[in-house]
Chains A and B, each alone.
Chain A
Amino acid sequence: MSIITDTARCSLCKEMFQASEKLINSGGEVWHEKCFVCVQCFQPFPDGLFYESDGRKYCEHDFQMLFSPVCHKCNKFISGRVIRAIGHPWHPDCFRCVWCDQSLADVGFVKFQGQPLCKACNTLVKQSGKHLCQICFKPIEDEPLFHMNMVVHPHHFNCFKCKKPLETMSKLHCGELVCIRCYDKMEASICVACRRPIEGRIVHANAQTWHPEHFVCAYCEKPFEGQKHYEKKGLAYCEPHYNQLYGEICFYCNNHVIKDVVNVLCKSWCVGHFRCTACDVLLALKGNSKFIFYDNRPLCRKCYDRLPQEFRRRLKRMDELKK
């Protein structure tokens, strides 16, 4: 023992050993106890376990840090067998089909959207047209969220407003993802009638928004369903009830004009009541049937010709004076 101590020098510091000093012998070389450390972290090897590379000794941790591949799935160092696929190293056990979790180490695999799939799942995915989430690489069963050029599960994101994970439906508001409920509150139209947000078709009327089924006649409360409506004092009415409440009054029958209205000569008439003042013949507004104004009432051509000549002359003069 003493002989060694006398002649041997530390492999690292090349110094002599003191008589009382401990020395460590490993592989035919000796070290001071303080010199027998990892070349990277200068710490003694835990449990005396070291790894050697290029004649230098490393502790397990540093050795792995420097030289071991890291599994792409579990992010742990791989010692032993390494699978290199799709540009990454994997533990044989970690290299699995992202869909059915079958181990792919010893069978063939297909790269799908940058992820390994077994052949069976690949055909299945291609057929169903489903997406793979670009965050968890699991297939997206429900509606995918397209965000920042990625297809992802909605639940990987939180609503910008209420901070809850997004559900299937979500909207982009000012570049931020928000859940549909918050979006409705912030942006979407609220039905004036039921005070609930409107999804789907919106009726805009009276500078307000409505569910189509809530946009109703203020009188009979039947939905308009795309039919004409008439507005009065901020309320909408269907045609018959608008006429009933506010419509034109026929000069002949003194009732509200029900359907089409003839508006001439400062008066209104039901179409069926727009008749010659003298002979009662129905006057058509279209076509060639002309009528002559007579005290702001209509007179058919025939009856006009029956008027006394003197009166016709005066009617003509009145027309000229008017002009």
Chain B
Amino acid sequence: MSRNIRKILESNRSKRDRELIISDENIGSLTELPGICSFTHLTRLNLSHNRLDELDPNIFSLSNLEYLNVFNNNLEELPGELRDIPKLRELNAGLNRLVQLPRGFGSCPSLQVLDLTYNNLTNGSFPGNFKYLGGTLRALFLGDNELLSVPLEIGTFLKLEVLVLRDNNIRDVPVDIGRLPKLKELHLNGNQIHILPPDLGLLDFSNPEKSFFRVFDNPLIDPLREQCESMKNNTDLFVKYLKSPQYLEVYTLYTIGVKKGNFPPLLKRDRSGKKSRKTPKFKPVEFGPLAFGAGVGDITPGDM
């Protein structure tokens, strides 16, 4: 444990500061932060840009925690005990190596913002009770994962305002997305989407200052692509087009009509360079901070 971290911890302990930021300190494990699980006064804990490969299950003893940030670590799994932190509102686990969400994760009682960007999540990674997050979740970030379709039961996420599904391998957009009453931001770019259901036209994207819809970088059918290009950034016009009878005709033509399944070829993407795919050849356990001073970026690539 470096002197710097000791200082931060002691200062926090004496002041009972509700916020603790240990960012970019090259921490490999929570054991390097002795007693952190007893900091029950904490509401915000930021451990971003470290080398953590697991979170101590004792983390659930931080009963007042509202915000947990483990962005840019080496986590392969999250402790299931997260669901026992009653006030946890925001979890940022972006840029990790998660392949699986813990069982029972859906029962996190007050999770509002969930960031799982840049991980290795697939459709099988979500626990069965994931849908129960729908009662509280406002923003779901699933960009840069390995999803082949939108997680099922997205229609139950009635409080969802932001849905990021950017850079996955999603082929189909479920009609349920169009029925999310509060959705203001939808990122669908960088997938393998051919066609959008006309139901997306039900979304209210009329306020350009407060709404956001991205669908470029997809093998869209020609009529959609043309509309997309001609309307540039005017989300409202594009969504209105999706609602129009004109598009309904196009949609039927491509889904059940003469052009059924006549979709453009899938876009080729090489995701092998994703950092989240790399696993360290060896797990650095008890190295001093100096040895890994350059941080996670220098870890030798694995065989994946």
Chain B residues within 8 Å of A251, by CB: 113, 139
**Closest residue of B by beta carbon distance from A321:** B216
Chain A residues within 8 Å of B184, by CB: 266
**Closest residue of A by beta carbon distance from B167:** A314
Chain B residues within 8 Å of A279, by CB: 21, 23-24, 46, 48-49, 71
In the assembled complex, the CB of A312 is this many whole angstroms from the nearest CB of chain B, namely: 11
Chain A residues within 8 Å of B118, by CB: 308, 311
In the assembled complex, the CB of A301 is this many whole angstroms from the nearest CB of chain B, namely: 13
- Would B211 and A266 count as touching, CB distance under 8 A? yes
0/1 interface trace, chain B 179-201, chain A, CB 8 Å (1 if under): 00000110101100000000000
Tell yes or no: B51 within 8 A of A by CB: no
Which residues 191-231 of B sit at the A interface, judged by CB distance below 8 A?
209-212, 214, 216-217
0/1 interface trace, chain B 102-141, chain A, CB 8 Å (1 if under): 0000000000110101100000000000000000001101
In the assembled complex, the CB of B216 is this many whole angstroms from the nearest CB of chain A, namely: 5
**Closest residue of B by beta carbon distance from A253:** B89
- Would B274 and A308 count as touching, CB distance under 8 A? yes
- Would B24 and A295 count as touching, CB distance under 8 A? no
The interface residues of chain A, by DSSP majority, are classed as loop
Tell yes or no: A306 within 8 A of B by CB: yes
CA A314 to CA B189, docked complex, whole Å: 12
Tell yes or no: B52 within 8 A of A by CB: no
**Closest residue of B by beta carbon distance from A254:** B112
Beyond A266-B210, A295-B166, A296-B162, whether A321 also contacts B95 by CB under 8 A is: no
Partner of B138, one of A254, A278, A311: A254
| CB < 8 Å A-B pair total | 89
In the assembled complex, the CB of B301 is this many whole angstroms from the nearest CB of chain A, namely: 12
CA A322 to CA B216, docked complex, whole Å: 8
In the assembled complex, the CB of A278 is this many whole angstroms from the nearest CB of chain B, namely: 4
CA A307 to CA B46, docked complex, whole Å: 17
Tell yes or no: A310 within 8 A of B by CB: yes
Tell yes or no: B145 within 8 A of A by CB: no
Tell yes or no: A252 within 8 A of B by CB: yes
Q: Which residues of B contact A (CB under 8 A)?
A: 19, 21, 23-24, 44, 46, 48-49, 69, 71-72, 89-90, 92, 94-95, 112-113, 115, 117-118, 138-139, 141, 143-144, 162, 164, 166-167, 184-185, 187, 189-190, 209-212, 214, 216-217, 233, 273-275, 295, 297
